[in-house]
Amino acid sequence: MELPVTRYHPDPVGTGSVEEKPDQPCLCCNRICGYVYTGPAYSEKFHYLSGCICIWCVADGSAAKQFGAEFTDTDALAELSEAIVSEVATRTPGFVAWQQERWLTCCKDAAAYLGRAGAAELKGKFAGALPALKAWIEEEYGLKGRDLDAFVAELDKDAGAIAYVFRCLHCAKYLAYTDEL
């Protein structure tokens, strides 16, 4: 079975929000689909959804509907249209961050979440995100020059301070922010 397309989170297996689990039945559709959503799930009644629902039930909105769940905190999306907020909150896999996750926006739309980055990824596959990330760090922490470079060099996608990388679906600009434990 092909994985569903979620444009605001195009590779949830790559980012770790969806894991291959060949034996795990889905609480929503009751089928063993092979790919389980392991990102955040916010529901007043159901506190055990992460790791128990399949990616298809996330992507088609049925898990959100059945469990009254949202998969992302939408505070950062407040200025966007309700249709976009709803797609990100109820039909898009979320992502785990140290602090409350923030979904970044550009061109009056939610951006696509590409994944976590540390210093290594910012020299490799996410090198294009470095200018946006540096601008964000300068603004947020007031760091410049060597201090800013030192901060970036310490980023690690698995520990300490982490960068979260997005890309605009319209102008293709990279966006990024950091948080830490």
User: Where does this chain bind Zn ion (CB under 5 A)?
Assistant: 26, 28-29, 54, 57, 106-107, 168, 170-171, 173
Count the Cβ atoms, other than its own, within 10 Å of residue 72. 27
In this complex, which beta carbon is closest to Zn ion, that of residue 32 or of residue 96? 32
In this complex, which beta carbon is closest to Zn ion, that of residue 102 or of residue 173? 173
In this complex, which beta carbon is closest to Zn ion, that of residue 106 or of residue 122? 106
Of 71, 76, 111, the C-alpha closest to 91 is 71
To the nearest whole angstrom, how small is the minimum distance from the Cβ of residue 67 to Zn ion? 11
Residues 180/125, Cβ–Cβ less than 8 Å: no
Of 142, 49, 151, 131, the C-alpha closest to 93 is 49
φ, ψ of residue 174 in degrees (nearest 5): -80, 150
To the nearest whole angstrom, how small is the minimum distance from the Cβ of residue 54 to Zn ion? 3
In this complex, which beta carbon is closest to Zn ion, that of residue 4 or of residue 16? 4
Distance CA 18, CA 39 (A): 7
To the nearest whole angstrom, how small is the minimum distance from the Cβ of residue 127 to Zn ion? 19
To the nearest whole angstrom, how small is the minimum distance from the Cβ of residue 91 to Zn ion? 13
For residue 121, give the 3-state DSSP assignment.
helix
